[in-house]
Amino acid sequence: MAIKRILNTSVISRQIEEDIHVPFHLIGTPEWIHESIGEDTVQGNDLTVVHSGNDLQPCKSWLLSQKELGIDSETGGDNKRDGLDPISESSRMLLFQLGTPEMVYLVEPKLVSEFKGILEDQDRRFITQNGVFDFKFVLVKHGVHFINYHYQTKKRAYVPSLYDTMLAEQLITAGLYGVQVGLEELAEKYPPHRLISKAVRREFIDLRGVLEYRHLYYAARDVFLLFDIKAGQLLEAAKHKGMWERMQVEFCAMCGTADAELTGFDLDAVRIGYTLEHWKAKARDIRAKVNKMGNEELLKKGLKPNFVLPDCDVVFDLDSPSKKLAMLKMLGFDIKDTKRETLLALDSPIGQLLGDYSECTKIISTYGEGMLKRRSKVDGRLHPEFNQLGSGDIEKRKGGDKATTIATGRWSSDAQQFPRPDHIYTPCDKADASLAISLFSQKHGEVLAEFTKPKETPGGTTQQSVTDNQVPAK
């Protein structure tokens, strides 16, 4: 009960957000300020109206004098997914934040490219929270590529230009289950232990109006907090031998992770379509066999349940676990679930068929239709999300505040569990050989035809040369 009270107190306290003095300065063109910023939100010395490149020189000069800068961005779009998808044509950056605790500049997205020289300076360190996200949006939308690492001759080592508070926390807490690594949790954990709320973030997702003071303060505050979090993490990291070196490795991998997500991979809809046809046909065949076998067993047991039309066969629903379980119990099988391993363990041909049917439906839904639905509408490719050290903010976005993470020390993603070809393709029988050949070019067809040509056996009979391992199914 005491633990529950503490957790509830923490959640409530975040709704009573601590007021933090955050100096910030807005930079934008007259049109953008008029259209996107609330009236009288920012005035005087807190605003730079950009008519030409010369107006940016004072801001650039100050930023160039800083060896370490915090960066962040606020994104949104026409729908809730846009703010997470830089590839989407309707996604957009709403604000770009760059600065230190002394001053945070809030930059109109169109002007981000004006700071390209600063952002791509390999001798400057940038602090981020989930920097892979910011990297992708800045690169795709504005053509700026953060230089992730460079070779330092004195140290004779590659030195990262990015420090990510989320990744650092996952390394520091590696192996501890239930650790949350969002900015809220980190700001509370490290001195001066600030209580903040991320509720305003939800307003950016599908923002239709203008940016008010609360939006600008929120954006600037997130950059402000990064510096104290980093300082606290470095003190914690110093307690663990080799931790600093491990951090550098992960920071060097950030842009590679981002590039992999942006590039994605191609899914051949035609080939997947052929695979789906094969497995759907196999599923139909299994359904027919199970229904025939099931009705025969019911007749043997005298359990035909259709009293109105006793001559009609019972059609079993193999796609409903509860109805499939009810059918099996009616046939005399005492089992508690319809998992594939449970079905295959039944000492019955119907169990093997149902196990094979589960495999069919998984391949059809997960590796076929499911993957095709996830292709980007822009480039037709599937863009995965990688977790360098655990679930991080990705799982928190999916599950809200309840989601937790555990750093496993290895990459994972939402697109790794592809089956090996021998799991999704089955050997052709004689009837399918000609169809398999027709799917290839004429040259390949001639080669396959040679393999499938009937051959004389020593006994004078004709033997089809297609074997289990010679001709792959469509």
User: Distances from the Cα of 164 to the Cαs of 126, 448, 459, in angstroms?
Assistant: 8, 54, 73
- Please tell me the predicted confidence (pLDDT) of residue 93: 96
Q: Are 106 and 95 in contact (CB under 8 A)?
A: yes
**82 or 24: which leads in pLDDT:** 24
Residues in a beta bridge with 412: 387
User: Distances from the Cα of 256 to the Cαs of 98, 149, 432, in angstroms?
Assistant: 22, 11, 43
Taking only the tens place, the pLDDT of each residue in 7-60 is: 334 444 445 788 899 999 999 999 999 999 999 898 888 999 999 999 999 999
Q: How buried is 334 (Cβ within 10 angstroms: 0-12 exposed, 13-18 middle, 19+ buried)?
A: exposed
* CA gap 345, 328 in Å, rounded: 13
- Please tell me the predicted confidence (pLDDT) of residue 437: 58
Quick one: average pLDDT of 234-257? Answer: 93
Taking only the tens place, the pLDDT of each residue in 299-336 is: 888 776 565 666 678 888 999 999 999 889 888 898 88
Give 37's DSSP letter. Answer: B
* CA gap 180, 394 in Å, rounded: 11
Q: Where are the domains of the chain?
A: 2-264, 269-374, 427-463
- Please tell me the predicted confidence (pLDDT) of residue 271: 80
Banded model confidence at residue 79, pLDDT cuts 50, 70, 90? confident
User: Distances from the Cα of 249 to the Cαs of 157, 158, 168, 171, in angstroms?
Assistant: 11, 9, 11, 11
Taking only the tens place, the pLDDT of each residue in 114-165 is: 999 999 998 899 999 999 999 999 999 999 998 778 888 887 888 899 999 9
Q: Give φ, ψ of 417 to 5 degrees.
A: -85, 50
Q: Which CATH architecture has domain 2-264?
A: 2-Layer Sandwich (3.30)
Residue 78 has pLDDT above 50, yes or no: yes
- Please tell me the predicted confidence (pLDDT) of residue 374: 86
Q: The tokens of 185 are what?
A: 């949790």
Where do we find the tokens 């090996």?
Answer: 420
Banded model confidence at residue 167, pLDDT cuts 50, 70, 90? very high
Residue 435 has pLDDT above 80, yes or no: no
Indicate the average pLDDT of the chain: 82
Dihedral (Cα; 356, 362, 363, 367), 10-degree rounding:
-170
CA angle 217, 221, 223 (to 5 degrees): 130
Q: The tokens of 31 are what?
A: 């049109």
